[in-house]
Amino acid sequence: MPKQNLKNDKPLELKAINLGLIGLGYFGKNYLRLLQNTKGVHLRTVANRESDAFETHKNLLKRIKTTLNADDIFSDPEIDAVFIVTPPGTHYSLIETGLKSGKHIFVEKPMVLNVSDAKKLKPLVQKSGKVFMVGFQYVFNENIRFIKKEIENGTFGKIISFSNEHAVSPSRPDIDVFTDAAPHPLSVFQYLFNPKKLISVDGEMAHDDASVQIQFEKAPLLNIKTSSFGETKTRKLTLVGEKATAILDETLEENKLSILKDGKITYPEITSKEPLQSEVEQFIHCIKTGETPLTNIDFGSQITKWLEVISEKIKSPAN
Protein backbone atom coordinates (compact mmCIF):
# COMPACT_ATOMS: atom_id res chain seq x y z
CA MET A 1 0.00 0.00 0.00
CA PRO A 2 1.39 3.46 -0.87
CA LYS A 3 2.13 5.93 1.88
CA GLN A 4 0.29 9.20 2.24
CA ASN A 5 1.31 12.40 3.99
CA LEU A 6 -0.37 12.20 7.37
CA LYS A 7 -0.58 15.08 9.79
CA ASN A 8 0.08 13.24 13.02
CA ASP A 9 0.82 15.45 16.01
CA LYS A 10 1.94 12.45 18.11
CA PRO A 11 4.00 9.35 17.33
CA LEU A 12 0.98 7.04 17.27
CA GLU A 13 3.13 3.99 16.74
CA LEU A 14 4.51 4.51 20.26
CA LYS A 15 1.19 4.72 22.09
CA ALA A 16 -2.24 3.20 22.08
CA ILE A 17 -4.50 4.86 19.55
CA ASN A 18 -7.55 6.36 21.23
CA LEU A 19 -10.79 5.68 19.39
CA GLY A 20 -14.31 7.02 19.33
CA LEU A 21 -17.28 5.00 18.06
CA ILE A 22 -20.40 6.73 16.77
CA GLY A 23 -23.42 4.47 16.39
CA LEU A 24 -24.40 1.52 18.54
CA GLY A 25 -27.20 0.04 16.47
CA TYR A 26 -27.64 -3.16 14.46
CA PHE A 27 -24.07 -3.09 13.11
CA GLY A 28 -22.35 -0.74 15.53
CA LYS A 29 -22.43 -3.35 18.26
CA ASN A 30 -20.02 -5.48 16.20
CA TYR A 31 -17.45 -2.70 16.27
CA LEU A 32 -17.97 -2.23 19.99
CA ARG A 33 -16.88 -5.85 20.46
CA LEU A 34 -14.03 -5.79 17.94
CA LEU A 35 -12.44 -2.53 19.01
CA GLN A 36 -12.04 -3.84 22.53
CA ASN A 37 -10.21 -6.90 21.20
CA THR A 38 -7.83 -5.06 18.87
CA LYS A 39 -4.24 -4.64 20.00
CA GLY A 40 -2.73 -1.18 20.19
CA VAL A 41 -5.99 0.74 20.54
CA HIS A 42 -8.16 2.05 23.34
CA LEU A 43 -11.88 2.64 22.81
CA ARG A 44 -12.34 5.83 24.79
CA THR A 45 -15.88 7.04 23.98
CA VAL A 46 -19.06 5.67 22.39
CA ALA A 47 -21.79 7.98 21.10
CA ASN A 48 -25.36 7.05 20.27
CA ARG A 49 -28.50 9.16 19.78
CA GLU A 50 -30.55 7.02 22.17
CA SER A 51 -29.47 5.91 25.64
CA ASP A 52 -31.25 2.53 25.49
CA ALA A 53 -28.30 1.04 23.61
CA PHE A 54 -25.98 1.86 26.49
CA GLU A 55 -28.10 -0.21 28.83
CA THR A 56 -28.34 -3.07 26.33
CA HIS A 57 -24.56 -3.26 25.99
CA LYS A 58 -23.59 -2.17 29.50
CA ASN A 59 -21.34 -5.20 30.03
CA LEU A 60 -19.19 -4.13 27.08
CA LEU A 61 -19.22 -0.47 28.05
CA LYS A 62 -17.50 -0.76 31.40
CA ARG A 63 -14.75 1.86 31.73
CA ILE A 64 -15.83 3.44 28.42
CA LYS A 65 -17.35 6.91 28.25
CA THR A 66 -20.80 7.20 26.71
CA THR A 67 -22.53 10.22 25.25
CA LEU A 68 -25.65 11.14 23.29
CA ASN A 69 -23.73 13.78 21.33
CA ALA A 70 -21.17 12.87 18.65
CA ASP A 71 -19.58 16.32 19.05
CA ASP A 72 -18.20 15.13 22.38
CA ILE A 73 -16.03 12.71 20.41
CA PHE A 74 -14.95 15.20 17.77
CA SER A 75 -14.03 17.82 20.36
CA ASP A 76 -11.97 15.45 22.50
CA PRO A 77 -8.27 16.14 21.75
CA GLU A 78 -7.30 12.73 23.15
CA ILE A 79 -9.25 10.84 20.47
CA ASP A 80 -7.15 10.06 17.40
CA ALA A 81 -9.61 8.19 15.18
CA VAL A 82 -13.37 7.78 14.84
CA PHE A 83 -15.52 4.90 13.61
CA ILE A 84 -18.81 6.09 12.08
CA VAL A 85 -21.43 3.34 12.07
CA THR A 86 -24.65 5.33 11.71
CA PRO A 87 -27.51 5.55 9.17
CA PRO A 88 -26.09 6.44 5.71
CA GLY A 89 -27.92 9.76 5.55
CA THR A 90 -25.81 11.02 8.46
CA HIS A 91 -22.44 9.99 7.04
CA TYR A 92 -21.46 13.09 5.11
CA SER A 93 -21.92 15.58 7.93
CA LEU A 94 -20.20 13.32 10.46
CA ILE A 95 -17.26 12.64 8.13
CA GLU A 96 -16.88 16.33 7.39
CA THR A 97 -16.94 17.28 11.06
CA GLY A 98 -14.53 14.51 11.94
CA LEU A 99 -11.98 15.43 9.27
CA LYS A 100 -12.13 19.11 10.18
CA SER A 101 -11.57 18.21 13.83
CA GLY A 102 -8.38 16.37 12.91
CA LYS A 103 -9.52 12.76 13.31
CA HIS A 104 -8.71 9.72 11.21
CA ILE A 105 -12.03 8.44 9.87
CA PHE A 106 -13.46 4.97 9.30
CA VAL A 107 -17.02 4.94 7.94
CA GLU A 108 -19.27 1.97 7.26
CA LYS A 109 -20.66 1.41 3.78
CA PRO A 110 -22.30 3.04 1.94
CA MET A 111 -19.80 5.90 2.27
CA VAL A 112 -22.36 8.53 1.23
CA LEU A 113 -25.60 8.35 -0.73
CA ASN A 114 -24.71 10.36 -3.84
CA VAL A 115 -21.82 11.27 -6.11
CA SER A 116 -22.12 14.95 -5.29
CA ASP A 117 -21.25 14.33 -1.65
CA ALA A 118 -18.45 11.95 -2.63
CA LYS A 119 -16.88 14.66 -4.79
CA LYS A 120 -17.04 17.14 -1.94
CA LEU A 121 -15.43 14.67 0.43
CA LYS A 122 -12.30 14.00 -1.58
CA PRO A 123 -10.66 17.44 -1.16
CA LEU A 124 -11.59 17.37 2.53
CA VAL A 125 -9.77 14.05 2.94
CA GLN A 126 -6.76 15.29 0.98
CA LYS A 127 -6.55 18.54 2.95
CA SER A 128 -6.88 16.75 6.30
CA GLY A 129 -3.88 14.51 5.75
CA LYS A 130 -5.66 11.88 7.80
CA VAL A 131 -6.41 8.24 7.06
CA PHE A 132 -9.86 7.77 5.55
CA MET A 133 -11.27 4.30 5.06
CA VAL A 134 -14.65 2.85 4.07
CA GLY A 135 -15.87 -0.41 5.61
CA PHE A 136 -16.38 -2.85 2.75
CA GLN A 137 -15.91 -6.01 4.78
CA TYR A 138 -16.19 -8.49 1.88
CA VAL A 139 -13.00 -7.12 0.35
CA PHE A 140 -11.26 -8.37 3.50
CA ASN A 141 -12.84 -11.83 3.36
CA GLU A 142 -10.07 -14.46 3.10
CA ASN A 143 -12.14 -16.48 0.61
CA ILE A 144 -12.44 -13.46 -1.68
CA ARG A 145 -8.71 -12.87 -1.44
CA PHE A 146 -8.10 -16.51 -2.35
CA ILE A 147 -10.37 -16.13 -5.40
CA LYS A 148 -8.47 -13.01 -6.51
CA LYS A 149 -5.16 -14.85 -6.26
CA GLU A 150 -6.52 -17.76 -8.31
CA ILE A 151 -7.88 -15.37 -10.95
CA GLU A 152 -4.40 -13.87 -11.25
CA ASN A 153 -2.89 -17.37 -11.44
CA GLY A 154 -5.18 -18.23 -14.36
CA THR A 155 -7.06 -21.00 -12.54
CA PHE A 156 -10.42 -19.90 -13.94
CA GLY A 157 -9.26 -18.82 -17.37
CA LYS A 158 -11.32 -16.02 -18.86
CA ILE A 159 -14.03 -14.94 -16.40
CA ILE A 160 -17.48 -15.05 -17.98
CA SER A 161 -19.76 -13.92 -15.18
CA PHE A 162 -19.89 -12.94 -11.53
CA SER A 163 -23.19 -13.40 -9.66
CA ASN A 164 -24.19 -12.48 -6.13
CA GLU A 165 -27.32 -13.33 -4.15
CA HIS A 166 -27.67 -11.35 -0.95
CA ALA A 167 -30.67 -11.42 1.38
CA VAL A 168 -30.54 -8.80 4.12
CA SER A 169 -32.48 -8.89 7.36
CA PRO A 170 -34.02 -6.80 8.70
CA SER A 171 -34.98 -4.35 5.94
CA ARG A 172 -34.02 -0.76 6.66
CA PRO A 173 -36.46 2.16 6.60
CA ASP A 174 -33.83 4.75 5.59
CA ILE A 175 -32.52 3.18 2.35
CA ASP A 176 -33.79 0.68 -0.21
CA VAL A 177 -32.57 -2.91 -0.26
CA PHE A 178 -30.29 -2.36 -3.28
CA THR A 179 -28.42 0.54 -1.66
CA ASP A 180 -28.11 -1.52 1.50
CA ALA A 181 -26.89 -4.80 0.00
CA ALA A 182 -25.30 -3.94 -3.37
CA PRO A 183 -22.13 -2.33 -1.93
CA HIS A 184 -21.01 -5.85 -0.98
CA PRO A 185 -20.95 -7.37 -4.51
CA LEU A 186 -19.95 -4.08 -6.12
CA SER A 187 -16.97 -3.69 -3.82
CA VAL A 188 -15.86 -7.28 -4.43
CA PHE A 189 -16.29 -6.83 -8.19
CA GLN A 190 -14.29 -3.60 -8.03
CA TYR A 191 -11.57 -5.35 -6.03
CA LEU A 192 -11.37 -8.32 -8.40
CA PHE A 193 -11.74 -6.64 -11.79
CA ASN A 194 -11.33 -2.85 -11.36
CA PRO A 195 -13.91 -1.87 -14.03
CA LYS A 196 -13.64 1.65 -15.42
CA LYS A 197 -16.68 2.09 -17.65
CA LEU A 198 -20.28 0.93 -17.29
CA ILE A 199 -21.90 -0.08 -20.58
CA SER A 200 -25.42 -1.25 -19.76
CA VAL A 201 -27.84 -1.98 -16.91
CA ASP A 202 -30.91 -4.19 -17.09
CA GLY A 203 -33.16 -4.95 -14.14
CA GLU A 204 -35.78 -3.70 -11.73
CA MET A 205 -36.15 -2.80 -8.10
CA ALA A 206 -38.86 -2.59 -5.47
CA HIS A 207 -38.13 -1.46 -1.92
CA ASP A 208 -37.71 -5.07 -0.74
CA ASP A 209 -36.29 -6.74 -3.84
CA ALA A 210 -33.89 -5.97 -6.67
CA SER A 211 -32.50 -7.94 -9.59
CA VAL A 212 -30.01 -6.39 -11.97
CA GLN A 213 -27.60 -7.41 -14.74
CA ILE A 214 -24.67 -5.07 -15.35
CA GLN A 215 -22.15 -5.01 -18.18
CA PHE A 216 -18.88 -3.14 -17.78
CA GLU A 217 -16.23 -2.57 -20.43
CA LYS A 218 -13.43 -5.17 -20.27
CA ALA A 219 -14.99 -7.00 -17.31
CA PRO A 220 -17.25 -10.03 -16.76
CA LEU A 221 -21.03 -9.82 -16.65
CA LEU A 222 -22.24 -8.88 -13.16
CA ASN A 223 -25.53 -10.19 -11.77
CA ILE A 224 -26.87 -8.93 -8.43
CA LYS A 225 -29.97 -10.20 -6.64
CA THR A 226 -30.89 -8.65 -3.32
CA SER A 227 -33.93 -8.97 -1.10
CA SER A 228 -35.19 -8.58 2.44
CA PHE A 229 -38.01 -11.12 2.19
CA GLY A 230 -38.44 -13.72 4.91
CA GLU A 231 -36.00 -14.88 7.56
CA THR A 232 -33.63 -16.92 5.37
CA LYS A 233 -30.13 -15.49 5.24
CA THR A 234 -28.45 -15.67 1.82
CA ARG A 235 -24.84 -14.76 1.07
CA LYS A 236 -23.86 -16.56 -2.13
CA LEU A 237 -21.31 -15.65 -4.78
CA THR A 238 -20.72 -17.54 -8.02
CA LEU A 239 -17.80 -16.85 -10.36
CA VAL A 240 -17.89 -18.66 -13.70
CA GLY A 241 -14.77 -18.96 -15.81
CA GLU A 242 -13.95 -20.90 -18.97
CA LYS A 243 -11.79 -23.34 -16.99
CA ALA A 244 -13.40 -23.44 -13.54
CA THR A 245 -16.18 -22.12 -11.34
CA ALA A 246 -16.02 -20.84 -7.75
CA ILE A 247 -19.01 -20.87 -5.39
CA LEU A 248 -18.80 -19.08 -2.07
CA ASP A 249 -21.70 -19.65 0.33
CA GLU A 250 -21.19 -17.66 3.54
CA THR A 251 -24.14 -19.34 5.25
CA LEU A 252 -22.33 -22.68 5.48
CA GLU A 253 -20.52 -23.66 8.66
CA GLU A 254 -17.62 -25.25 6.76
CA ASN A 255 -16.41 -25.66 3.18
CA LYS A 256 -17.81 -22.25 2.36
CA LEU A 257 -15.74 -22.02 -0.83
CA SER A 258 -15.87 -24.74 -3.47
CA ILE A 259 -13.99 -24.88 -6.77
CA LEU A 260 -15.46 -26.88 -9.67
CA LYS A 261 -12.86 -27.85 -12.27
CA ASP A 262 -12.55 -30.75 -14.70
CA GLY A 263 -15.63 -32.41 -13.23
CA LYS A 264 -14.21 -32.38 -9.70
CA ILE A 265 -15.11 -30.32 -6.63
CA THR A 266 -12.38 -29.18 -4.24
CA TYR A 267 -12.61 -27.22 -1.00
CA PRO A 268 -9.55 -25.02 -0.48
CA GLU A 269 -8.15 -24.87 3.04
CA ILE A 270 -8.37 -21.22 3.98
CA THR A 271 -7.56 -19.75 7.36
CA SER A 272 -10.73 -18.25 8.74
CA LYS A 273 -10.55 -14.72 10.08
CA GLU A 274 -13.37 -12.30 10.73
CA PRO A 275 -13.38 -9.78 7.84
CA LEU A 276 -14.43 -6.93 10.13
CA GLN A 277 -11.40 -7.62 12.30
CA SER A 278 -9.13 -7.58 9.25
CA GLU A 279 -10.42 -4.23 8.02
CA VAL A 280 -10.14 -2.71 11.51
CA GLU A 281 -6.55 -3.91 11.69
CA GLN A 282 -5.75 -2.38 8.30
CA PHE A 283 -7.19 0.97 9.40
CA ILE A 284 -5.04 0.96 12.54
CA HIS A 285 -2.01 -0.17 10.54
CA CYS A 286 -2.45 2.71 8.09
CA ILE A 287 -2.71 5.24 10.92
CA LYS A 288 0.57 3.97 12.35
CA THR A 289 2.47 3.73 9.06
CA GLY A 290 0.95 6.39 6.81
CA GLU A 291 -0.04 3.82 4.20
CA THR A 292 -3.24 4.27 2.19
CA PRO A 293 -6.11 1.82 2.91
CA LEU A 294 -7.29 -0.48 0.18
CA THR A 295 -10.83 0.90 0.52
CA ASN A 296 -9.86 4.57 0.55
CA ILE A 297 -11.73 7.67 -0.66
CA ASP A 298 -11.21 6.76 -4.33
CA PHE A 299 -12.50 3.22 -3.81
CA GLY A 300 -15.49 4.50 -1.84
CA SER A 301 -16.25 7.16 -4.44
CA GLN A 302 -16.21 4.60 -7.26
CA ILE A 303 -18.72 2.38 -5.45
CA THR A 304 -20.89 5.44 -4.77
CA LYS A 305 -20.85 6.22 -8.49
CA TRP A 306 -21.81 2.66 -9.50
CA LEU A 307 -24.59 2.62 -6.88
CA GLU A 308 -26.05 5.92 -8.07
CA VAL A 309 -25.92 5.11 -11.78
CA ILE A 310 -27.30 1.59 -11.42
CA SER A 311 -30.04 2.67 -8.99
CA GLU A 312 -31.22 5.37 -11.39
CA LYS A 313 -31.39 2.85 -14.24
CA ILE A 314 -33.38 0.19 -12.40
CA LYS A 315 -35.74 2.71 -10.82
CA SER A 316 -36.43 4.23 -14.23
CA PRO A 317 -35.71 1.43 -16.73
CA ALA A 318 -37.18 3.45 -19.62
CA ASN A 319 -34.31 5.91 -19.23
Q: pLDDT tens, 262-318?
A: 999 999 999 888 999 999 999 999 999 999 999 999 999 999 999 999 999 887 544
> 46-58 pLDDT, tens per residue?
999 999 999 999 9
Share of the chain above pLDDT 70, in %: 91
User: In degrees rounded to 5, what are phi and psi of residue 290?
Assistant: 85, 5
Residue 236 pLDDT: 93
d(CA 25, CA 29): 6
How many C-beta atoms surround the C-beta of residue 253 within 10 A? Answer: 5
Q: Are 85 and 31 in contact (CB under 8 A)?
A: yes
Tell me the pLDDT band of 209, cut-offs 50, 70 and 90: confident
Burial of residue 210 (number of CB atoms within 10 Å: 0-12, 13-18, 19+) = buried
**What is the phi/psi pair of residue 82, to 5°?**
-130, 135
**Is residue 92 classed exposed, middle or buried when 0-12, 13-18 and 19+ CB atoms within 10 A define those classes?**
buried
pLDDT band at 95 (very low <50, low <70, confident <90, very high): very high
Q: Is the pLDDT of residue 13 over 70?
A: no
pLDDT at 200 over 90: yes
The fold of the 139-273+307-315 domain, in CATH, is Dihydrodipicolinate Reductase; domain 2 (3.30.360)
Superfamily of domain 12-135+277-296: NAD(P)-binding Rossmann-like Domain (3.40.50.720)
Output the pLDDT for position 284: 96
pLDDT on residue 14: 54
> 166-184: per-residue pLDDT in tens?
876 566 667 788 888 899 9
Q: What is the DSSP string of 197-259?
A: -EEEEEEEEETTEEEEEEEETTS-EEEEEEE--SS--EEEEEEEESSEEEEEETTSSS--EEE
Residues of the chain with CATH 3.30.360.10: 139-273+307-315
Mean pLDDT of the chain: 91
pLDDT of residue 314: 87
9 or 284, which is more confident: 284
Looking at the chain, the domain(s) classified CATH 3.40.50.720 span 12-135+277-296
> Which one, of 261, 270, 70, 250, lies nearest residue 164 by Cα?
250
Handedness of CA 252, 255, 258, 262 (dihedral sign): negative
Please tell me the predicted confidence (pLDDT) of residue 179: 87
Q: Note if the pTM is more than 0.85.
A: yes
